[in-house]
Structure 1
Amino acid sequence: MEHTRDSGPVVTKAESGAPDPEGGPDTPASQLGEIGRQAGRGLRWSVLGNMVMKAGSFAMSLVMARLLVPAEFGIFAIALAASQFVIYINDAGIIAATVQWRGKLEEMAPTATVVAITSSTLLYAFFWVFAPYFAEMSGSESATGVIRVLTAVNLVYGLTAVRSAALLRRFEQDKLTKANLVGFLVTAPVTITLAANGAGAYSFAWGQLLGAVATGVLVVLYARVKVGFGLDRAMAKKLLVFGLPLCVTLGIEGLLLNVDSVIVGDALGAEQLGFYLLAFNISSWVPGLVGTAVRYVALPSFSRLAEQGGDSVSEGVQRAIPLLLSIVLPFGVLLGVLAPAVIGFLYIPRWEPAAEVLSFLSVLMVVRMMTALVVDILAAMGATKATMWLNLGWAVALIPSLILGAQMGGIRGAAIAHAVVALVVAVPLSVLTMRRAGVVLGPVVSALGRPVLGGVLCAAVTVTLVTVISDGIPFVHLAVAGGAGLLVYVLVVVPQAVLKQLGSRVTGLIPARSR
């Protein structure tokens, strides 16, 4: 997880528990509007920051794909799987507990800091010892040192967890964005320089670690939460009662996202894992850009809606889910259909085997983004046990499916297993947990009709044009088939009134003499 922060504590009436006796500007309706404005501002900053970060990461990946061979990517994938799993459980759920804390931040910060640092330190010590066994289990003993370096990133996250949560809580994503950008400006040159000098997979690990340190320093400076250490046992218990079930949930989520690297590496070796990792990274572009931004604001936003009571959460869900699906679905469709063209256009020929994996991981991409939103909504409602059962059910179905898929169909089989389990298991479980939490989902079903229809037509148009176009140049497929498919989707999904309004604005920008 990346970092976040703010300039000073702001305690609203909802946080302090004080009622508004006059029902004036702090009535539920006005509070709901204010939450929406704050969330919108935070989302804009998150999206902007992620756009810049993803553009930079994309450029760096193009360079690294030419400096490293697939086997070195595979070694890094093994280390990344260990690090990403740890990061989900690193702070014992303290970030989420801090974001939704109903009292004053200053009262719980010292205890929360001690709990987060203790948790991250113990986990790092465990993985330092466990690293050789994890590397051997994943099919590459040479990954041991890379694992030990990369998992040190989580020590930084533990030290800054409460400060990151303070920024999220106060919707100060602008400061978080700046801190992450500075971290990337450290990561990129370090990684590329080390790779150019033969450091192999270690180049990724050291670049990530030094970038995390730079980001962490800025997070502490921006948060302006007094650095203090203390342990109030009653408060620690309260934090852990909320945080540990969510920690288990996120740990299972980390398992869901990284167990495929272990299984593919063990069954097929580091080179095939390198192809798989490249495809998985491409399928993560949209979740990294849009999904991360949404998660920065979803938990604090729905936490505030949950404080309002009534139907506030249900109304928020009925708006958020169709909107998010409308945004991510065309990217999933186009990425799945045009996977060979994407790989062919962006990378050198030796990476072509990644295309058959990408076609199926695009399905997983869409489901991942929707289920991540569901987890954040449930966590904001305090239903952390429900999130745990959601991810646990998914994991129980996924692990044997991945093993069978990899053995029968190689990296393509593993990707198919991922996509099938996501659709058949994860989606129904998400609906069930939301309904059991009391969220009214009826209006969501009808609102999804237009995006789904648009996705089907987008796929049909794109596939037809790819088949018709005889020119095998990847850019032509992306521009012509992809452009036509996206246009069809927009015409079906975006309301005509919105399209007319946009058309009027564009027309208004054209000088009168040229019309």
Structure 2
Amino acid sequence: MLNDEVRQKTAKGFLWVSIYVGGARILQAATFLILGKLLEPEDFGAFALAMVLVNGLIMLREIGLTPALIQIRDDVDRAFRNSAVMLPFFGVLVFFVIFLIAPVYGRLAANESVVPIVKVLGLMAPLSSFGILPAVYLQRNLRFRKKALPEILSVTVGSGLSVFLAWQGFGVWSFIYGILSTEFIRTTAYWITVGFKFKPQVDFAVWKRLLKFGVQVSIGSTFGFLYTLVDRFIVGTHFIIEQLGYYSFSLQLANLLPNNLVLISNQLILPTLSSMQDEKQKFIRTYSLGLALFALIIIPVSAGIYLFGGDLLHWLYNNKWDDAALALKIFVFYGFSRAIGALNTEVFLSKGKPKYFTFLSAGKLLFCLLALPFVLRFDKMEAVAILFTFGLLAMTVMSFFLAAKLMEMKFWGIIKIFIPHIISIIAGCGAIFSLPNEMLLLRIALFYAVYAGTQFIFNRRFLASVKEFTTALLKKGEQD
């Protein structure tokens, strides 16, 4: 069993990460659905095309310092004081790079209208870079309660502004102003929460040490980000911008929950596993618990989106987003792979093996780039979606093999976590097989009733441990 101190910190951390991630993401999900009603597919497409460049470069503002600062074990104070200079420096540098190459990108994408959008969105780099250090400080020390206010407050204001501007007819700019206001408020709130306690310092020996680890992570992250962006660039340039809107909308919708789980993994699992680097059994138990919890959440939701997502889109938006229904089914597997594979990335980083992450990220990108010319012959955005989903799914499976090897864990220990869920999906699909599509609410209710019942039969032991864990969380929350 985990010792009391680690158990209490993990339980408390899980509670507060769930609160602020869940609260913030529910707001973002609601905002996304409302914007789907107020804006047109072309607006989503223009925003997605602009974010290809911005997201591709903005990750360089952090140059892998977040995992480096979490993983480091000595000279912590010096590392943070030097990072107080490094992070803003790289954030401002990235902004100027984005601003200067925006016109080139507009010509390359054959869409000059995205140039001003890209330039303004580039402000995300300096705004967010100033807020990374206090956020990492709280994350490293598992003080997640103090992260709740900055996260929820910033998302509330930013989401509200986006909806208001969309309602007033600002179109794609409602996205941009909402995002920038979110970043500004989040950064300001983090510094107010932590206090200005990091005296800036420039010590190039410390810079070199941090960058040695951080650059390895950044290389892997670069491949990973390119993988998530190349497909949108291809769709945005090979098809009309409206098609990119459908593609982007379905991808974001399928990833609403996976994004939350990836964030929880990064916020909580990485620092928790990093504190157990030399304790093999505790490490494996924590990993297994996290994977089982993620599976319990993501699998039934993914199954529901696959089975009922298209019908729900039509019910919510009439015919407006019908062309996104097939891509949504495909991207269910994309989101599922991202969510369950997130824990393996934390294993690689906490064990000081970022090269595994780099290898997998580069591998899936190379595979998709090589296969892309063949796939484009089909002249369907869904073909691109299948290619990039398959690449991610294949590399996720490989990441489980590497993680098991690194932890010296039997691979069967991972596989058996998913067996009860597979049985539950088969049982649920069998129960609704004969029901017509018009009985949508009944089909949804029956599927999840059968799914839950099957889980109770075949996954009872784990559900009991989840109940115990949840009870401990609630008691801990009452004490705090």
TM-score by length of 1: 0.84
Listed as ranges, the matches of 1:291-330 within 5 Å are 291-306=262-277, 308-330=278-300
1:274 maps to 2:241: no
Does 2:200 correspond to 1:229?
A: yes
Q: Where does residue 474 of structure 2 map in the other structure? A: none
Aligned counterparts, 1:68-87, within 5 A:
68-87=39-58
Structure 1 residue ranges without an equivalent (≥5):
1-28, 506-515
Specify the alignment match of 2:319 in structure 1: 349
Q: Corresponding residue for 1:284?
A: 255
Contact 1:397–1:425, Cα closer than 8 Å, also in 2: no
Q: Give the C-alpha shift of residue 94 in structure 1.
A: 1.2
Report how far residue 297 of structure 1 moved. Answer: 0.6
1:260 has 2:231 as partner? yes
Q: Which residue of 1 aligns with 2:378?
A: 408
Q: Distance in 1 between matches of 2:306 and 2:401?
A: 28
C-alpha displacement of 1:440: 1.5
> For residue 431 of structure 1, what is the aligned residue in structure 2?
400
CA distance in 1, matches of 2:252, 2:438: 24
Deviation by residue 1:389-418 (Cα, 9 ceiling, x = unmatched): 121112111234455435415122122112
Distance (whole Å) between structure 1 residues aligned to residue 263 and residue 311 of structure 2: 26
> How far, CA to CA, are the matches of 2:450 and 2:375 in structure 1?
34
User: Compared with structure 1, are the counterparts of its residues 150 and 482 closer, same or farther at alpha carbon in structure 2 (3 Å cutoff)?
Assistant: farther
% identical equivalent positions: 18
Residues 483 and 318 of structure 1: is their aligned pair in 2 closer, same or farther, counting only changes over 3 Å?
closer
Question: Is the CA contact (8 Å cut-off) linking 1:390 and 1:433 kept in structure 2?
Answer: no
For the 8 Å contact 2:364–2:392, the answer to whether it is kept is yes
CA–CA distance in structure 1, aligned partners of residues 80 and 413 of structure 2:
44
Q: Which residue of 1 aligns with 2:434?
A: 468
Q: 2:333 aligns with which of 336, 359, 363?
A: 363
Report the equivalent of 1:495.
461
Residue 449 of structure 1, aligned match among 400, 413, 416: 416
Q: Does the CA contact (< 8 Å) of 1:124 and 1:155 recur in 2?
A: yes
Aligned to 1:159: 130
Q: Tell me, which stretches of 5 or more residues in structure 2 are unaligned?
A: 472-480
Distance 2:372 2:127 in 1: 32
Aligned ranges 1:138-149 → 2 under 5 Å: 138-149=109-120
Identify if the C-alpha distance between structure 1 residues 405 and 474 changes in structure 2 by more than 3 Å, giving closer, same or farther.
farther
After TM superposition, list the pairs within 5 Å mapping 1:101-250 onto structure 2: 101-250=72-221
Q: Give CA deviations for 1:329-385 in whole Å, capped at 9, x if unaligned.
A: 222222222221232233332101111011111111121122222112211111122
- Amino acid across the alignment from 1:218: A
Question: Are 1:481 and 2:447 matched, yes or no?
Answer: yes
- The alpha-carbon deviation at position 279 of structure 1 amounts to 0.9
The 1:337/1:237 distance shift into structure 2, 3 A limit, reads same
Q: Per-residue deviation at 1:450?
A: 5.1
TM-score, reference length from structure 2: 0.90
Aligned-partner Cα distance in 2 for 1:315–1:137: 49
* 3-state SS of 1:470 partner: coil
Amino acid of the structure 2 residue aligned with 1:321: L
Q: Deviations 1:426-462 (Å, cap 9, x if unpaired)?
A: 322x1343356x32230x5245325234225414532
Distance 1:301 1:499 in 2: 19
SS of the residue corresponding to residue 362 of structure 1 reads helix
Q: Secondary structure at the match of 1:305?
A: coil
Cα separation, 2, equivalents of 1:327 and 1:242:
32
CA RMSD in angstroms, aligned pairs only: 2.6
1:395 aligns with 2:371: no
Distance in 1 (CA, whole Å) between partners of 2:462 and 2:11 is: 24
Q: Which runs of structure 1 show a deviation greater than 6 angstroms over 4 or more consecutive aligned residues?
A: 499-502
Q: Note closer, same or farther for the CA distance 1:496–1:126 as it changes in structure 2 (3 Å cut).
A: closer
Letter in 2 for 1:379: L
Cα 1:419/1:486, change in 2 over 3 Å: farther
Instruction: Give the corresponding residue for 1:440.
Output: 408
CA 1:500–1:388 in 2, change beyond 3 Å: closer, same or farther?
A: closer
Q: For 2:463 and 2:284, locate their aligned partners in 1 and report how far apart those are by CA, in whole Å.
A: 26
Amino acid at match of 2:299: L
Contact 1:71–1:274 (CA under 8 A) maintained in structure 2 = yes
Tell me, in whole angstroms, the C-alpha distance in 1 between the residues paired with 2:453 and 2:161. Answer: 40
CA contact (8 A) 2:110 2:237 kept: yes
> Aligned pair in 2 of structure 1 residues 110, 264: CA closer, same or farther (>3 Å)?
same
Q: Which moved more, 1:407-416 or 1:262-271?
A: 407-416
Q: Residues 500 and 255 (structure 1 numbering): CA distance in 2 closer, same or farther, change over 3 Å?
A: closer
Check whether the contact 1:394–1:425 (CA below 8 A) recurs between aligned residues. yes
Query: What is the total number of aligned residue pairs between the two structures?
Result: 469
Quick check: 243-252 or 400-409, which moved more? 400-409
